[in-house]
């Protein structure tokens, strides 16, 4: 739940997950599935006021942030400013507060003043507490950016309230009495949050295709070039190079025909054509190692595809992550790619934590604990400041390298990965 729809004019299907009295593993697994299978964003909520339950829920939200690639919002019971801060620090794009559970005026005022409107939503039960446009706008004037309306009936009165609302409007509905079309087609509604697609038999991709056929602007995974414009081989196939979308590691190579290409776009799962079996095959149907497509590109000659995917498990039938694991020849070279260097160094530090080595300076720092690690980070930061005053950049690069090493030790000590940090930076764009 963010303002993406305001920016691109497209309406969103938002999957909501009620985490109250639900096992953490089930919530995480469901969030991952929604992320892979076409949801535009997630709404996770647990409005219980009990402190322990709230902290456990926020821990689950932090874990979900590590696993998924779509924005998510959290709904929790907020009693004080610290509760709101903790909720947004999970990585959530938005905090949803129920109107019936608003904190005291003093705490609410601090929350509204400290966070941007786009970060705050108010959830309103329209069956028991119907709000007119003027009443909704009073929340906008306070500092809320989104209204999440639940228990709605599509009536002229509701449409009038939504039409006059200054906030982004979303409707939360299980789609028992309504269908998604009648709710999402209301003029200013930017998205519908639902748990209707919890069953794997119900496809978000298929629902979006149906909405598009009714001229509803939704985010569809579709090709900008028709398959007929590709330069295929004589047998009608086109080779596909498959990459991990995060690391850019090449995973495998296969072939597609027009039908498998269309199936990939329709389902979001990489589907190929088997030359040996002369049939379509969806990667993962047998092994469970699905490839969820993130991006498809074509080369300059339009005769080779590049697929960037989220790989579940191993891509290779041998159990290796990549099919390209047999080295034929190698020339020694210095790898200066920041992605691989920092990742490799981080993994080495993590390995030292899990498998200590006698005499290791890294293990010495872990043994001394967080205070020693923080002291070293502070010292190295100071060294950077001193070196930066020196016109010789050679000294500065050494100090920055020292700081990055100690910072990575701190990251491992605190359970943070490079992916966590990069995702936070991406969220700030």
Per-residue pLDDT tens over the stretch 124-157: 999 999 999 999 999 999 999 999 999 999 999 9
**Does one domain contain both 297 and 208?**
no
319 located within any domain: no
* Domain membership of residue 72 as a residue range: 4-213
**Which sign, positive or negative, has the C-alpha torsion 141, 147, 153, 159?**
positive
Q: Which two tokens stand for residue 275?
A: 């030359």
Which of 164, 182, 213 represents a domain boundary (last residue)? Answer: 213
- Stated as kind and residue range, the H or E segment containing 265 is helix 258-267
Neighbours of 16 (CB within 10 A): 27
In-domain check, residue 325:
no
Whether residues 208 and 238 fall in one domain: no
Asked, for residue 97, whether it belongs to a domain, the answer is yes
pLDDT category at 380 given cuts 50, 70, 90 is: very high
Q: Flag whether 63 is in a domain.
A: yes
Say if residue 420 is in the same domain as residue 272.
Answer: no
Alpha helices in 89-234 (DSSP H): 105-114, 133-142, 156-163, 180-184, 204-213
My answer on whether 265 and 136 are in the same domain is no
State how far the alpha carbon of 247 is from the alpha carbons of 70, 99, 290, 340, 358, in Å: 18, 43, 17, 8, 32
What is the per-residue DSSP string for 390-409?
SS-HHHHHHHHHHHHHHHHH
Are 282 and 133 part of one and the same domain? no
Token pair of 50 as six digits: 């009990």
User: Whole-angstrom Cα distance, residue 337 to residue 343?
Assistant: 10
Q: Is 414 a member of any domain? A: yes
Phi, psi of 344 (to 5 degrees): -65, -45
Q: Is the dihedral of CA 256, 261, 263, 265 positive or negative?
A: positive
Structure confidence at residue 339 (pLDDT): 81
Question: 26: which 2 tokens?
Answer: 């089930």
Q: Do 239 and 206 share a structural domain?
A: no
Strands (E), 77-126: 94-98, 120-125
Q: What percent of the chain lies above the pLDDT cut of 70?
A: 98
pTM of the model: 0.83
Tokens at 324, concatenated: 């390209």
Residues 33, 138, single domain; the answer is yes
The domain that holds 364 is classified in CATH as: 1.10.287.1080
CA-CA distances (angstroms) from residue 312 to 124, 175, 245, 248, 324? 38, 31, 12, 15, 17
Task: Give the helix/strand (H/E) hosting 410.
Answer: helix 393-414
Same domain, 55 and 118: yes
36 vs 30: CA distance, rounded Å = 10
> What is the model's pLDDT at position 427?
72
| Cβ count within 10 A of residue 206 | 13
| CATH code, domain carrying 247 | 3.10.20.810
Evaluate if residue 334 carries a pLDDT over 80: no
pLDDT bracket for residue 5 (50, 70, 90): very low
CA 271 to chain CA centroid, Å, is: 23
**Could you say which of 292, 311, 330 is where a domain stops?**
311
Looking at residue 200, what is its pLDDT? 85
pLDDT of 117 higher than 50: yes
- DSSP 8-state code for residue 365: H
Residue 397 lies in a domain: yes
Structural domain ending residue among the three candidates 184, 213, 242: 213
Q: Residue 103: inside a domain, yes or no?
A: yes
Residue 172 phi, psi dihedral angles, 5° rounding: -105, 125
Quote the CA–CA distance of 284 and 290 in Å, as a whole number: 4
pLDDT score recorded for residue 6 = 47
The answer to whether residues 160 and 83 belong to one domain is yes
In the chain, the number of structural domains is 3
Q: Give the separation between CA 42 and CA 29, rounded to whole angstroms.
A: 13
Chain centre to alpha carbon of residue 133: 32
1 pLDDT exceeds 50? no
Q: What average pLDDT is seen over the chain?
A: 94
| 326 is a domain residue | no
Q: Are 135 and 156 in contact (CB under 8 A)?
A: no
- Residue 422's pLDDT is 86
């Amino acid at each position: 739940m963010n303002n993406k729809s305001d920016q691109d004019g497209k309406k969103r299907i938002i999957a909501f997950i009620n985490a109250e009295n639900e096992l953490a593993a089930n919530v995480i697994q469901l969030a991952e599935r929604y992320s892979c299978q076409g949801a535009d964003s997630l709404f996770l909520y647990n409005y219980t006021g009990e402190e322990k339950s709230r902290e456990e829920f926020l821990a689950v939200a932090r874990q979900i942030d590590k696993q998924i690639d779509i924005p998510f919002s959290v709904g929790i019971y907020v009693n004080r400013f610290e509760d709101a801060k903790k909720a947004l620090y999970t990585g959530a794009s938005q905090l949803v507060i129920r109107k019936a559970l608003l904190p005291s005026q003093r705490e609410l005022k601090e929350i509204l003043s400290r966070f941007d409107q786009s970060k705050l939503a108010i959830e309103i039960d329209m069956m028991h507490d119907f709000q007119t446009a003027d009443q909704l706008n009073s929340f906008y004037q306070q500092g809320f950016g989104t209204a999440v309306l639940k228990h709605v009936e599509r009536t002229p009165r509701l449409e009038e309230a939504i039409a006059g609302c200054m906030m982004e409007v979303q409707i939360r509905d299980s789609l028992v009495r309504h269908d998604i079309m009648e709710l999402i087609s209301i003029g200013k509604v930017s998205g519908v949050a639902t748990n209707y697609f919890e069953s794997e038999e119900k496809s978000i991709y298929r629902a979006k295709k149906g909405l598009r056929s009714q001229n509803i602007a939704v985010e569809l995974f579709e090709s900008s070039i028709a398959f007929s414009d590709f330069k295929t081989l004589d047998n009608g196939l086109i080779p596909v190079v498959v990459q991990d979308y995060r690391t850019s590691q090449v995973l495998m190579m296969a072939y597609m025909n027009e039908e498998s290409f269309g199936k990939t776009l329709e389902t979001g799962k990489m589907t190929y054509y088997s030359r040996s079996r002369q049939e379509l095959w969806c990667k993962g149907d047998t092994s469970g190692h699905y490839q969820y497509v993130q991006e498809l590109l074509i080369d300059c000659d339009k005769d080779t595809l590049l697929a960037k995917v989220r790989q579940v498990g191993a891509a290779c039938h041998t159990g290796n992550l990549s099919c390209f694991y047999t080295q034929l020849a190698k020339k020694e070279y210095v790898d200066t790619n920041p992605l691989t260097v920092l990742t490799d160094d981080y993994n080495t530090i993590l390995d030292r934590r899990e498998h200590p080595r006698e005499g290791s300076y890294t293990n010495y720092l872990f043994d001394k604990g967080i205070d020693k690690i923080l002291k070293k980070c502070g010292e190295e930061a100071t060294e950077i400041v001193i070196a930066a005053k020196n016109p010789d950049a050679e000294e500065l690069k050494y100090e920055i390298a020292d700081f990055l090493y100690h910072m990575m030790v701190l990251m491992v000590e605190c359970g943070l990965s490079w992916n966590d940090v990069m995702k936070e930076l991406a969220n700030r764009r």
